[in-house]
Every structure is written in C-alpha cells, then in structure tokens.
Chains A and B, each alone.
Chain A
Amino acid sequence: MNTAGEKVKLSVRGLAVSYSAASALRSLDLDIVAGEILSIIGPSNSGKTSFLRSLNRMNELHPHARTSGTILLDGVDIVREISAESLRKRIGMIFAMPVPLPLSIRDNITYGPRMAGVRDTRTLDALVEESLQAAYLWDEVKDRLDMSGQKISGGQQQRLCIARTLALKPDVILYDEPCSGLDPLSTAKVEESMLELRKSHTLVLVTNNTKQAARVGTRTAFFLMGEMVEIGPTEKIFTAPADKRTEDYIVGRFG
C-alpha cells in the first residue's frame, strides 16, 4: 500500500509469536496505513489476537510468550527504541469484555493521563468531556460522572472503555473483538464511533463477526493457523477473494 503513496503507520516484519512450545503466529509481514480501519478476521487460534497484542506489547505480560521480528511505529522500533509504557499511550486497546476499573466514571477516564503525570484538574475535566463525547457516551453520563464505572450498563461500559482509551490521545487504537458481548444497538454505537475516529486515528479491529469487518473495515486481512492468508480492500475480500480458504471462511463453510 505504501507504493500508493500513503503513510505507513505500523510496519510489521517477520513477526512470530509462540507460547511455550505452541506457535501462534509465524513470520508475518504487514503494513498498516495511517487512517485506515484494518479488520482482521479468522477462526479461533488463527493468531489474530496474538498479532494485535504484539502491536502494543501486551504479549509480554504473558509469562511464556516469545515474540520475534520487528514492528515499527512511524519508523521507530517499538521494542528497542521506546518503553512499553510510552508505546501503550500511543497505541490504545479496547478489550472484548469491558473492564471498568472500580473507580468513578471520571477517574476511569483520567486513569491513563494521571498515571502519565497529568495533575491539572481543568485539563483532566476537559479530557473527560472530550473523550466521552467522542465515544458517544457524554449525554448519557454527564450528570453522574462520580458514579462507579461498574454500575452502568454493559454497552455503556464498553463506550466508557473506549473513552478511557481516547483520553490517552493515542495514534492507533486496537480493538479486540469489542462487540462480542454487546447488543446490536450498542454495537452500532461502537461502530459509529469507529468510523468517526478513523478521521484522526488508525484502527485495527480483530473480530469474529465477519459482517462487522465488512461494515467498518477499509481493508480486511484473513488469518488462518498463524498465517495471513490474504489481505486486501474489504470490498474485494468479501466479493472476490483470491484464496479459496478465505471464501470458505466468509461464506461460513468453516470456523
């Protein structure tokens, strides 16, 4: 894609991930373009979550994970040239299950900035409103910011988690099956915010829901058994996939 003159945000070369003896991802090369929504689909154990968690070095927290290869963020090696903490401020992550910390809505959102040393109350307050607006949650919670983040509905919790990630002002946002526990209405709101965020962020979405990939992805990649089978514009992947296995997966013949 960089041949088309677009800016490469994340450049992945020879990425391999294994847990103890089991290999999860084998030698992956992939460029992620600034401002795209890259959807990654594939059956379980295809390595898509391992790939996602390599991008913000969350894999390192797994005691037996081994990662090799290089990943460049804006040309900077994310392992050798920057710390995991500063990397994770630039590459935010949304998990499958929303996990609000046992804090107020406000303190959940300011958690990242506070850990980074931001103390000024006005800056933090502005961040709270801005992030909640961008996650389409402000109107629902603006009068109860001091309520526990764990006491709102599941759909609201996931948008709270999105707002919390946005408060980091990340360049890239990783979504790990963000809607797997949500009702269709909440899913729609999350997808709507993704399309809006695309204007200023680069998004990577791992999803088991192929329809979701088709709805929001600018490009889609199909992973199978630790390898990337195919990547291309979403429309092409869903209408004329080059590989038979991609087609089989999309039409639901396996996985």
Chain B
Amino acid sequence: MKREDKRQNIGFGALLAATLLVVIPVLAIVVLIVAKGWGALSWEFLFSMPRDGMRAGGIFPAIVGTIYLVFISLIFALPIGVMAAIYLSEYAKDNALTRVINLAIINLAGVSSVVFGLFGLSLFVVFLKFGVSIISGALTLGIMTLPVIITTTREALRSVPASYREVSFSLGASRWQTVRHAVLPRALSGILTGAILSVGRVAGETAPILFTVAAFYLPNLPTGLSDQAMALPYHLYVITTQIPGIPESFRYGTALVLIGFVLVMNIIATVIRSKAGKKR
C-alpha cells in the first residue's frame, strides 16, 4: 500500500514537472519582453514614423503594415479555406481525388515558411508581375495559412453530431440548407479558432514577407495594395541586426507590440466566439 502511494506520487510529480516546464518558457518570454519593452511604449512610439535612421521616433508604419497583411491575407484565406473545408467535410466522397487533396493539405502545412516566401516571390512578384507589394505578401501569407484554416474548420464541422444532419435531411432540407442551418452555426466557434490561429501566424511570420512585401524603411505609409510595406516581425529583425546603436528598449518594445497585437486579436475573436455560442 505504502509503496503504491510512493510510486503514485512520483508519477504525479513527473507529470506536474512536465506541465510546469511548458509554462515556464511562456512566462519567461512574456516577463522578459514586458520588462524590457514596457519603457519604450508611448504614443510617439506607437503612432509616429521612425526618425534618425530608425534610432528614434516610432514604429507606426510597421504596425500599419502588419494590420494590412493580417486582414488582406484573411480576406483571401478565410473564405477559400472555409469553403474548401465545407466541401471536404460535407460534400466530397471518399475517393482518390479527395485523398490526394488531403495529402496536399497536410504537406502544405509542413512546408517551411521561407519556401512559401520563395514561392510567393516567383509566382506573385515575378510571374504575375504584382511586384514587391502588399498584395503579393498577403497572398503568400494567405496560402501559408490555408492549411491551418482548412484543418481547424474541418475539425469544427466534424464535431457537429451526425444526427443533426440526419434530422435536417429528414425534414426535407437540401444538403446546402443542412450545412447552412444545422451544421455551420454549431461549427462557428471552431472556425473562428482557426481564424485566430492564422492571425497569429500571419502577424508573426518573417520569412514569407521577406521577398514579397517587406521594406527595410519607408518614409511614408503605404497608399495601396501595390505598395511595399514595413511589418513588425521584419522591422524587429532589421533593428536588431542591421542598425547599430538602437536603444534596446526599441527592440523589446517592438516585440511587445507584436505579441500585444496578436493578444488583442485573440481577445476580440474570443468575445465574438462566446457571443456566437450564447445565441444557440
């Protein structure tokens, strides 16, 4: 009996330790960034253009660029990803074509982000002649997030009980009506989770925007889709490695804004999700 207890406690302790090990880096990163970057935060830092070779002023153009990239890539990727997931989950038969598509999606998720960048460069920038521009970068990021959106949406659709579909069909609803009225409302929160995850990736990725959109420094804000833009992750890379003499707090301040942006997006989406959940 005693021996059993002891072994039980050791097992329990090992599991707890593993869990804590996961939490520690997260906390450490947040604490480090907040501690070192908090001092840089000011209205000027957030809402003004960089000055003195980016050694002073703010990071406003990088924030604007990242917001553009997040929303424009989502405008492309969310509808396409959700529609593809609906097709795969609700319409597609289990045949060779479907299996090939599934394999492609899994592989797309595994492609490293710098390869997406190279692909975006050759397809959007060069071949389609979009140039190094917001549209090229957003499309590249959109393709990169498609597997995330498709996979999470499909999981969300699959979690809706099959009996709802059955009941809907039995009441004379067509397949699309069944998807629209019996399935999608129930899957909405899961779909939003996919969107949140992709916002985080789009905002944070550096490699895919490197060749397709990101500018080292721009004196003006972008005025259209064909302009280049600065973006937070690339700006962070630039001021950390390319320009000597930048105050350390600028780097951590930029990182803080980046994680803060993703956090705010997550909170917004979570609120929408809980509202959608309550309506049921």
Interface of A toward B, CB cutoff 8 Å: 56, 58, 61, 63, 84-86, 88-89, 92-93, 95, 97, 99, 101-103, 111-112, 115-116, 148, 161, 164-165, 168
Give me 12 other A-B pairs in contact (C-beta within 8 A), A88-B170, A112-B173, A168-B172 excluded: A58-B170, A61-B169, A89-B171, A95-B166, A99-B161, A99-B163, A99-B164, A102-B164, A111-B181, A115-B171, A115-B177, A115-B181
Q: List 5 A-B contacts (CB under 8 A).
A: A58-B166, A86-B172, A88-B170, A89-B171, A99-B161
The reply on B240 being an interface residue by CB < 8 A is no
Tell me which of A92, A103, A115 has the highest count of chain B C-beta atoms within 10 A of its own C-beta.
A115
Contact A101 B170 (CB under 8 A): no
Supposing A63-B93, A63-B94, A148-B280 touch, asked if A101 and B168 sit within 8 A by C-beta, the answer is yes
The reply on B106 being an interface residue by CB < 8 A is no
Contact B185 A93 (CB under 8 A): no
A161 and B177 CA atoms in complex are apart in Å by 19
Q: Which residues of chain B (46-85) have a CB below 8 Å from chain A?
A: none
A99 and B171 CA atoms in complex are apart in Å by 12
A residues near B185, Cβ cutoff 8 Å = 102
Closest CB-CB distance, A113 to chain B, in whole Å? 9
Contact B94 A168 (CB under 8 A): no
Contact A116 B166 (CB under 8 A): no
The reply on B235 being an interface residue by CB < 8 A is no
Mask: chain B, 135-174; 1 = CB below 8 Å from A; 0 = not: 0000000000000000000000000010111111111111
* Other-chain contact of A85, B93, B94, B174 (Cβ < 8 Å): B174
Contact B172 A89 (CB under 8 A): yes
Closest CB-CB distance, B164 to chain A, in whole Å? 6
A163 and B176 CA atoms in complex are apart in Å by 24
Contact B172 A99 (CB under 8 A): no
Tell me which of B163, B168, B170, B186 has the highest count of chain A C-beta atoms within 10 A of its own C-beta.
B170
B residues near A164, Cβ cutoff 8 Å = 171
Q: Which residues of chain B (164-220) have a CB below 8 Å from chain A?
A: 164-174, 177, 181-182, 185-186
Closest CB-CB distance, A166 to chain B, in whole Å? 11
Contact A92 B177 (CB under 8 A): no
Closest Cβ neighbor of A94 among chain B residues: B170
Interface of B is mostly: helix
B residues near A97, Cβ cutoff 8 Å = 163
A175 and B153 CA atoms in complex are apart in Å by 34
Closest Cβ neighbor of A92 among chain B residues: B170
Closest CB-CB distance, B87 to chain A, in whole Å? 16
A residues near B172, Cβ cutoff 8 Å = 85-86, 88-89, 112, 115-116, 168
A170 and B164 CA atoms in complex are apart in Å by 20
Contact B171 A111 (CB under 8 A): yes
Closest CB-CB distance, A55 to chain B, in whole Å? 11
Contact A168 B171 (CB under 8 A): yes
Closest Cβ neighbor of A115 among chain B residues: B173
Closest Cβ neighbor of A116 among chain B residues: B172
A148 and B278 CA atoms in complex are apart in Å by 11
A residues near B168, Cβ cutoff 8 Å = 101, 111, 115
A residues near B163, Cβ cutoff 8 Å = 95, 97, 99
Tell me which of B94, B164, B173 has the highest count of chain A C-beta atoms within 10 A of its own C-beta.
B173
Contact B166 A61 (CB under 8 A): yes
Contact B93 A101 (CB under 8 A): no
Supposing A63-B93, A111-B181, A115-B181 touch, asked if A99 and B169 sit within 8 A by C-beta, the answer is no
Contact B186 A95 (CB under 8 A): no
A54 and B173 CA atoms in complex are apart in Å by 17
* Other-chain contact of A58, B94, B169, B174 (Cβ < 8 Å): B169
Supposing A95-B163, A111-B181 touch, asked if A85 and B170 sit within 8 A by C-beta, the answer is no
Closest CB-CB distance, A210 to chain B, in whole Å? 26
Supposing A63-B93, A63-B94, A148-B280 touch, asked if A101 and B164 sit within 8 A by C-beta, the answer is yes
